[in-house]
Structure 1
Amino acid sequence: MAELRIAIAQIDTCVGDISGNVEKILSWTRKASEREADVVVFPEMTITGYPIEDLALRGSFQRAAERALFDIAHTLEAEGLGDIRVVVGSLGALALSDHVPMDRPTNRAAVLCHGSVEVAYDKHHLPNYGVFDEYRIFSSGNTTTVFEVKGRRLGLAICEDIWQDGGPVAELEDVGISVLLTLNGSPFEEGKSQVRLEQAQRRARAVGAPLVYANSVGGQDDLVFDGGSFVVSAHGEVVARAPKFVEDLLLWDLAEDDETCKFGPIASALEPDEETYRAIMTGLSGYFTKNGFKSVILGLSGGIDSALVAAVAADAIGGENVYGVSMPSVYSSEHSKDDAHDLAQRIGAHYRVQPIAPFVDAFQSQLHLTGVAEENLQARMRGMTLMALSNAEGHLVLATGNKSELAVGYSTIYGDAVGGYAPLKDLDKSRVWELSRWRNNYAIDRGEIPPIPESSITKPPSAELRPGQVDQDSLPPYDLLDAVLDAHIEHAEGRAELLERGFDAHVVDKVVSLVDRAEWKRRQYPLGPKVTALAFGRDRRVPITSRWREPEM
């Protein structure tokens, strides 16, 4: 048997940008050809971008995706690249057998060769949990697909097909393939890399052949695709791996005999904090770039949340494109203002000071608010200031709240909750501190200036909306709060289970009540990158109007 060179094109596509995605597919196929690849494998739904949600149901979109598939094949043939097999994900609008329009499209993998579609495979297992809602838009495939290159038999699968038992992938166990190619659009979650690897190892052992795992990379709305494409041997050993969060062309050679498994490049794994930090960067960069923004603006309070958001933004899009605004009130401390200015200088961001006292005074002369209403007025003046500057200057407003605050409603709607994107939306407060420390240590290890002032990390969190205010006036200590929230939200534990864990009943009742009452705020909060197993929005869906309350034991 002949040796076979397989290229994995780990690329970043944009939903709906069919022409742009086609140009990228052509460009990376040319690169693969220059490296003498026989097969180039692209991720799931590369032509359309992923996930396309209800765009899949539009006839015009289906027809454009279908045309693009043949445009790629014809272009490559015209350029003398017809011999290379291009395995690309797209939207299938026509039945494979008789080529007539289907009631619902499919998530399809097509093999292009010599100006035409050689074979195609429709995804069998459709995920319908968490962020996935594929029963809504796709039909399921039900046949195996094997094609030959240089006398070697290659099997096809798409993402969820290797996560589930049965279906066409199980049928490949008795076919005798040389390699299983899997096209994936698997979003990032903390700890998911190992789960993916274990599933791939299981399927490779089952089919008795190496498994090629081609994954997407880049940000798409609130999802982050982390790449990390890899190849495992028939025995489950990692023999090649692409880096995470960057586009990459990973080359791997299938040996002449099926008993030998060659090694290709193996990128180093990232430590957990760096992985999550880069996921947030990728999410922000993807949203920023794909929606045509040129700059971002955010409030710089001198606190840890805005400091981390600013650092992430500077790393993702460059400090010169970050505009920080200090908006002191009469209660703002000098050290907070100093920390905000220091941060802006460290990351190379633009910086301005816009006191909100005149705005507050104008409202107070008419409304005479006190207590929480007065505090919220200050937050809303800050939100209005940022939105006004956004409208006037074209910036994307970044909300700086974290998951802990969002969980218990510790934010002001139309105040600090304004914005178009919220980088920390799926990070609890404890993780905000951890990633801030990691980012500073990362800089120190490289002989650079840490981006975040140390005092922003160490001082007690405060909204500074009244004299001497700190967050723990209203909330349990964040380490305790985050532990309760993790059990209640991530693991869906109720009052009884929380008390069994040993949490104080007063703390449990307060936290659960705050979470229940804040759902309406969460529905109006900007989107942000999903990095945990259960993020607000796509993952966790509870009614706003509900009389359910946790029963007492």
Structure 2
Amino acid sequence: MNPMKFAIAQINCTLGCLSSNAAKILEAAERAHAQGASLLLTPELSLCGYPPEDLLLRDGFYAACDDELQQLACAAPAGMTLVVGHPHQVDGLRFNAASVLRDGAIITTYHKHELPNHSVFDELRYFTPGDQPCVFEHEGVRIGINICADIWEAGAAQAARGAGAEVLLVLNASPYHLDKQLARHAVIRERTHENGIPVLYANLLGGQDELVFDGASFVMDAHGKLTHQFAAFEEVLGLVEFEHGQPKSGELQPPLDTEASVYRALCLGVRDYILKNRFPGVLLGLSGGIDSALTLAVAVDALGADKVRAVMMPSPYTAQISLDDAREMAQILGVRYDELDIQPTLAAFEQTLAPLFIGRAADTTEENLQARIRGTLLMALSNKTGSLVLVTSNKSEMTVGYSTLYGDMAGGFAVLKDVSKTLVYRLSNYRNSLGYAIPERIITRPPSAELRPDQTDQDSLPSYDDLDGIMACYVERNLSIPEIVARGYAEADVRRVVKLVRINEYKRRQSPVGVRITDRSFGKDWRYPITARYQDDF
């Protein structure tokens, strides 16, 4: 085989913005062509973005994609081959497809075989599975195509190899979660060992509602050796040189540790949600606590200080150190900072309700009033300015319902929705390792909602180490109560947490979307009924 140079376009697509996505693909093709590459591989459904969800039920969507694909084929550099992901409708059947474009023509089209219908995926709702391999010739080399989930099973790759493929191109829209890259590497290594051909793995980049696509595209040779590892969480045009039918060793980016990858996922998720939805900026309630502090740091790193506004809303129970720390952090990060004293509003609410509360002792009702006043003020500012309210609740709180509907749950995007409290602390320390942003006292003081005198979170919850451990077992791993207790957690704590999970489903169903960073988030991954009495674990 003659030497070849291929390119991987790891691009951030905007869902439904066909012309913009096509322009990105064309720009990558022109750059790759100028650097001597003869083939460009793009991610899964790169022409339209992923996942299009019920846009895929509209015939006009397919027609628009077909038109854009043909225009792209005509505009591509002469002699350059492009492999582009797109939805494809044929005789009333709909497919997740990849087409090969060359010299103004679409020379062949592949239909994805394996349609995932689990976790965040529901492709069987929209697509028909393909059943034929696709192998085309490029510079004397036989090249096969797979799409994302195809590679997680043996059949589609074996079919390509059986049809004569000497190199396998895989288009992917593989969303990020913790340790996902290790799983990708393991699967591709298994396919290379089975089929004895190199694999180029191109993954999508960017945030799409709750999903974040981390890119991290890579290449393995026929023996399962990693020859290229491109950067995660940024757009990349990766060049891959072949010699004697195998990819030569090239760029190998080191893996990110847990805190670095999660923090970058949060920033990318926030940035794309705000910018792709054309919000002018964000605002949030800054309490002096660690959750709002981390949310503020992410927002500033994602969008810039000029697009972020922090509002401190003290109540009678707000400690002076909370005010001091909030002011200091706003000054450090250079964001607009306002203080709105909610005590007069709280007094008015209490006076209005007093005749109806006669004979009833104060309880969480009065605590929730404070949270709801704050939510109302933030939403008023959002309406007036157009900026989106960022919700600061974390996954541990969402698990047990330690949050207030129409209060601290009010807003448009929940940055920490899938981040446990213990991980919040780790991320805060990580952020400070990049440059001082979060006052140290915010990290070290006991967490408190400050809705009653001398309150701390641990007054009404197990320790966060225990809570997060139980949550991970029950929510993320589907373990039973006996199985969780067997791992060393107190049975009373386990039963209490599980009960709180079950009775607070109605709250979670009303929460805004937020960045998914685990493989079981409270979003598309979690579909529990609100009304249900099944309790086999008790």
TM-score range, shorter chain: over 0.9
Give the partner amino acid of 2:238: L
Does the 8 Å CA contact 1:488/1:494 hold for their aligned counterparts? yes
Counterpart of 2:75? Answer: 75
Find the aligned partners of 1:162 and 1:493 in 2 and give their Cα distance. 29
Q: For 2:275 and 2:268, locate their aligned partners in 1 and report how far apart those are by CA, in whole Å.
A: 10
Q: Does 1:126 align with 2:115?
A: yes
d(CA) in 2 for partners of 1:67, 1:261 = 34
Aligned to 2:162: 174
SS at match of 1:503: coil
| TM-score, length-scaled by structure 2 | 0.97
- 2:333 alignment partner, one of 327, 333, 347: 347
Distance (whole Å) between structure 2 residues aligned to residue 164 and residue 362 of structure 1? 63
Aligned mate of 1:227, from 212, 215, 219: 215
Partner of 2:14: 14
Are 1:123 and 1:140, in contact at CA under 8 Å, matched by a contact in 2? yes
Paired residues for 1:424-503 under 5 Å: 424-443=416-435, 450-503=436-489
> Could you tell me the TM-score, scaled by structure 1's length?
0.95
| 1:177–1:207 CA contact under 8 A, matched in 2 | no
Contact 2:144 / 2:161 at 8 angstroms: preserved in 1? no
2:297–2:438 CA contact under 8 A, matched in 1: yes
2:382 is equivalent to residue 396 of structure 1: no
Could you list the per-position Cα deviations for residues 79-125 of structure 1 after superposition, in whole angstroms to 9, with x for gaps in the alignment? xx13100001001112xxxxxx323x111000001111011100000
Matches within 5 A, 1:79-118: 81-94=77-90, 101-103=91-93, 105-118=94-107
What is the total number of aligned residue pairs between the two structures?
532
* Residue equivalent to 2:175: 187
Tell me which amino acid in the other structure corresponds to 2:69. Answer: L
Match of 1:332 among 318, 325, 337: 318
The answer to whether the 8 Å contact 1:172/1:207 transfers is no
Matches for 1:130-279 after TM superposition, within 5 Å: 130-166=119-155, 168-255=156-243, 257-258=244-245, 260-279=246-265
SS in 2 for 1:288: helix
Aligned residues of 2:395 and 2:421 also touching (Cα < 8 A): yes
| Structure 2 residue aligned with 1:446 | none
Kindly provide the CA deviation profile for residues 290-321 of structure 1, in whole angstroms up to 9, marking residues without a partner as x. Answer: 00012100000000000000000010001121
Cα distance in 2, alignment partners of residues 462 and 59 from structure 1: 52
State the alpha-carbon separation in 1 of the partners of residues 351 and 255 from structure 2: 58
Q: Are the counterparts in 2 of residues 73 and 82 from structure 1 also a CA contact under 8 Å?
A: no
Partner of 1:251: helix, strand, or coil?
Answer: strand
Q: Which residue of 2 aligns with 1:447?
A: none
Deviation at 1:496, TM superposition (A): 2.0
Q: Is the 8 A contact 2:154 2:191 kept in 1?
A: no
> CA separation in 1, counterparts of 2:146 and 2:183?
18
Task: State the Cα distance separating 1:453 from its structure 2 match.
Answer: 0.6
Deviation at 1:36, TM superposition (A): 1.3
Measured in 2, the distance between the counterparts of 1:10 and 1:433 equals 32
Mapped to 2, the partners of 1:25 and 1:172 lie a distance apart of 25
Paired residue secondary structure (1:467):
coil
Give the equivalent residue in structure 1 for 2:398.
406
Please state how far the C-alpha of 1:442 moved relative to its aligned partner: 2.5
How far apart are the structure 2 equivalents of 1:310 and 1:544? 32
RMSD: 1.1
- Aligned partner of 1:26 in structure 2 is 26
Unaligned runs of 5+ in 1: 95-100, 444-449
Tell me, yes or no, if the aligned pair for 1:398 and 1:423 is still in contact at 8 Å: yes
Q: Deviations over 1:501-531 (max 9, x none)?
A: 2322221221111110110000011100110
Asked whether the 8 Å contact 1:112–1:118 carries over to 2, the reply is yes
Residue 189 of structure 2 aligns to a residue in which SS? helix
- 1:490 alignment partner AA: E
- Equivalent-residue separation in structure 1 for 2:195 and 2:8 (angstroms): 20
Deviations 1:253-304 (A, max 9, x none): 111x23x541122222211210111011111111011000121000000000
